[in-house]
Structure 1
Amino acid sequence: MASKFLLVFFLARLLSPAELGIFGLLSATIGYSLYLLGFDFYTYTTREMLKLAPHERGQLLKNQSAIFLLLYLIVLPLLSIIFFQGLIPWKYMTWFFLLVLLEHLTQEVGRLLITISQPLTASIVLFLRQGIWPFFAVALMLAFPVCRTLDWVLGGWSIGGFCALLLGLYKLYKMELGSWRANIDWRWIIRGLKISSSLLVATLAIRGVFTLDRYWLQALAGVEALGAYVLFIGIGNALMSFLDAGIFSFIYPGMISAWQKRDMELFRLELIRLAKQTLIVSGSFFVVAFLAISPMLHWLGKDVFRTYQDMFPWILSATTLYGLGMIPHYALYAMGRDKPIIFSHLLSLGVFVIGTWALSGKFSALAVPISLVATFLFILAFKSIALVSLRPELFRPAPSTPIKA
């Protein structure tokens, strides 16, 4: 969303590079924590829920709530380690835990709304969670210098998340999903944990890249270089916000449905639509961002960002490759072919670590963004080859045929 770019861009002007770097560490660590709290259980729930009628879905949500509560009791105390180890200053601990809870709950509610064919409401929830509050926060920071603090930013983030959560819960309440009085099905939960745990390991690996990169870059080049990195990757990651909200959330449920109905031709058409829209948006974003970065940095007026500007083309390339990699990813996911996803993500962490370690002595700050390009190019190639190998008929015109089990 444009708000992500706006937020990072104006934080780069209104906060110190060091504060921007801390904001990047907080954002990355919160994002990584969501996977520990959610256990990637939605990957199991999504496919299961589409098999049920609306009046049967309440028990499934009750089961999911039970496992989340258990995970909260285990994971939240463990997260305090990051403060005891001095990775993030203690003064941000309250904001951290509040935002972890709000981000996880709104994320799960948004995913649920998409699954039950409520993409418009899900988009509004996402807009409240990530889209609108940065505009208000930035406006007040521009108008009132006293608001130009990281605490103010984290407070605005919390308000946006709370409003998004209220809307999402209200929509679910109005849908009157049935079977809420059914007992919690622990066997169903255990089966789901077995399935989602394998995907979780893969997810933690790929998200580990997006968390380790910031800590590693700080170690290589310092907190001010990290501030520049956070600015550049914030701009690049805005692409994923456009893709998630405008393309993926609308198309991939249809791909899952087509596969479950054994309609190969519809599945192929949905995949083509996903690929075309992703390529157009990604290509356009790349060109605009590449051309606009120099005027943007000139307006910011901070030499530290221009000093590290050579990181930006690498970061922009990496985020573009990451977006393109979601084309085969969603196809494999809809088909229930999880192994290629798991293997590519597990191997990607190794690619990133080896690449950064090998390049850090010669390229210093550039080692991280160059390794990101190699990592996401590897993932794109791995998933694409897997998809073509599993279903070559998707890539040639063919009459509608049933999908073989």
Structure 2
Amino acid sequence: MTTLIVRFLLMFFLARFLEPEAVGYYGLFTASIGFILYFVGLDFYIYTTRELLQLPQHERAKPLKAQILMSLCLYAAVLPITFALLVHLDWPRSLIWWFLAIAVLEHVNQEVFRLLIALSKQIQAGILLFARQGVWALAVIALMAARPETRGLNTVMGLWAGSGIATVLLGLWYIRRQSFGSWRHPVDWAWVRRGIKISTAFLIATLALRAMQTSDRYLVEAFTGLEGVAGYVLFLGVASALMTFLDAGVFAFAYPELISLHHQKDHAAARRRVQRMLWQTLSCCGLFAVASWLVLPWLLTWIGNPIYGRMIDLYPWLLLATILNAIGLVPHYALYAKGSDRPIIHSHLAALPTFLLMAWLLEKILPNLAVPVALAMSFALILVWKTVAYLRQGFGDSTNPPIWQ
């Protein structure tokens, strides 16, 4: 809950302390970080998690060691290309260097967080999440409020990177305390190749989804300029706080349990767990929607920049898109737990062209709302697709085998 509140407030303080152009760059930066993480991670955790939970405790170091070495190879290949692309986009050079450092730190922290969640270490994972997303945000707010000369993107990035380093060290300490067996076993590269084959199908679908959630900022910039990105990022940041809470408070507990129940073939318990996850998600979405809509006008007045007030019409659509995304994760995790990957992959692949087409069509008549409306329509498509797939299959023996079979 604390992380949710901090992330909710951070965007308002950035909007108050930074120029709209800087807020726009921050939005492009964070979206691009989220996108590049998939290239250095390949969504390999999807394969590792399901494999890891089936291994005895003393053999769990082997897949983790293989994943670490694979990631190092990916860093060597992906980061130089990323640098060249960012230079081509004409970003400020300081932001490019911050980008490379923070991308690595975010990836390591993300993988450690996912590992702890898979091992049902939710308390430790929650501590890491707050250290990774909450501590530096609090530090940014406090420092910029106390010292006006620090109000710039370098302060934000420096504290983000510093918090990332501290979180990596804490996460590695948690991992060291787990009894995973010997780390000296040779790497099973055949296992890695099999994992890449399996995760690549998911990666393509995830990249399609992430491309939608990255290109939205760039489309807003093309339609309305950097000031438009600033408003879009502010309201999207508010709405996205809901996902932060649901990830840590609902989904992090649900999907490891669903995987275990599926392996145990306790399908009745799995169905009850999906139903409980749905009601938890709907309740959180309803409470968040009411609370954020009541607080938002007051916070916009406090920011004091009329640019954001003129863009408040963005928020209902971005909130709707976020809620549809959240509800869609309920059938998503149910399908993922039972290894039914095709509906997940196909829905994500269909969403990207739907988003781009609708944004292009709506730009002619609703230039300021084209992107958030298109985003909501795309998440609605994903929700319907996954829900229909889950209702057809239920939680029993899958008639829809994993994509790699």
> Would you say same fold, with TM above 0.5?
yes
Cross-structure match for 1:236:
239
Identity of aligned residues (%): 43
Distance 1:13 1:404, change over 3 A: closer
Q: Give yes or no for the alignment of 1:309 onto 2:312.
A: yes
Equivalent in the alignment of 1:169: 172
* 1:355 is aligned to 2:347: no
Supply the distance in 1 between the matched residues of 2:110 and 2:41 (Cα, whole angstroms).
Answer: 9
| Structure 1 residue 204 corresponds to structure 2 residue 207 | yes
1:78-110 deviations in Å (ceiling 9; x for gaps): 111332212522221111111000000000011
* 1:25–1:88 Cα contact (<8 Å) kept: no
Question: More deviation in 282-291 or 47-56?
Answer: 282-291
Are positions 1:68 and 2:98 aligned together? no
Pick one of 328, 340, 345 that aligns with 1:342: 345
Q: What RMSD over aligned residues (CA atoms) do the two structures have, in Å?
A: 1.2
* Partner Cα distance (1:404, 1:69) in 2: 36
> Which residue in 2 is equivalent to 1:326?
329
Quick one: which of 3, 6, 15 aligns to 1:3? 6
* Partner SS state of residue 184, structure 2: coil
Long gaps (5+) in structure 1: 395-401
Q: How far 1:173 sits from its partner (Å)?
A: 0.9
1:263 touches 1:403 (CA, 8 Å); kept in 2? no
Aligned twin of 2:125: 122
TM-score, L = length of structure 1: 0.96
Aligned residues: 396
Equivalent position to 1:254, from 252, 257, 261: 257
What is the correspondence of 1:253-402 to structure 2 with a 5 Å cutoff?
A: 253-391=256-394
Equivalence map 1:94-133=2 (5 Å): 94-133=97-136
**Residue in 2 aligned with 1:34?**
37
Deviation for aligned residue 1:291? 2.2
1:250 offset after TM fit, Å? 1.1
Give how far 1:404 is off. 6.8
- C-alpha distance 87-209 of structure 1, shift in aligned 2 (>3 A): farther
SS at match of 1:336: coil
Letter in structure 2 aligned against 1:248? F
2:89 corresponds to which residue? Answer: 86
Q: Structure 2 stretches of 5 or more lacking a match? A: 400-405
Query: Which residue does the alignment assign to 1:187?
Result: 190
Tell me, yes or no, if the aligned pair for 1:137 and 1:156 is still in contact at 8 Å: yes
Any conservation in 2 of the 1:259–1:334 contact (CA below 8 Å)?
yes
The answer to whether 1:58 aligns with 2:61 is yes
Shift of 1:403: 4.6
* Partner SS for 2:313: helix
Give the secondary structure class of the aligned counterpart of 1:52.
coil
1:168-206 per-position Cα deviation (integer Å, ceiling 9, x unaligned): 100111223113111100110000000000000000000
Closer, same or farther: CA 201–404 of 1 in aligned 2, 3 Å: closer
Give the match for residue 141 of structure 1: 144
Per-residue CA deviations over 1:92-142 (Å, capped at 9, x if unaligned) read 111111100000000001101111221111111111000222112101110
Residue type at the aligned position of 2:38: Y
Deviation per residue, 1:123-162 (Å, 9 max, x gap):
1111100022211210111011111111101111111111
Take 2:129 and 2:94, find their aligned partners in 1: how far apart are those partners? 28
Please give the alpha-carbon distance, in whole angstroms, between the structure 2 residues aligned to 1:306 and 1:41: 42
